[in-house]
Amino acid sequence: MNNNRTMQEMNEQYKDCPVQVNTYVVDGRTYRVHSHFVGDKDINDVMYRYAEDRAMSEMLGSAPTAEKA
């Protein structure tokens, strides 16, 4: 079975899923991150990892500042 899908196929499959866009500025460069929520992950695991990573970044002083796009 071939699991290699093209970007167009994935865009069509997930076109109705929610998308969030965040803008980050790192070392003077602007990056836009598009997050597509397709429902393939356990939300509890995702939130736990996010909270843990965020807490560690804040303690180390390396948490990026997000500007909502």
The pLDDT assigned to 69 comes to: 47
d(CA 26, CA 64): 8
* Amino acid, single-letter form, for residue 14: Y
pLDDT tens over the chain, length 69 residues: 457 889 899 888 888 889 899 999 999 999 999 888 887 788 889 899 999 998 888 888 865 656 554
Residue 54 lies in a domain: yes
Residue 10 lies in a domain: no
Cα 28 to Cα 24, 31, 41, distances in angstroms: 10, 10, 33
Residue 3 lies in a domain: no
Tokens coding 26: 């790192």
Smallest Cα–Cα separation from 37: which of 17, 21, 22, 51?
A: 17
Range of the domain at 57: 16-68
Residue 57 lies in a domain: yes
The pLDDT assigned to 23 comes to: 95
Residue 11 lies in a domain: no
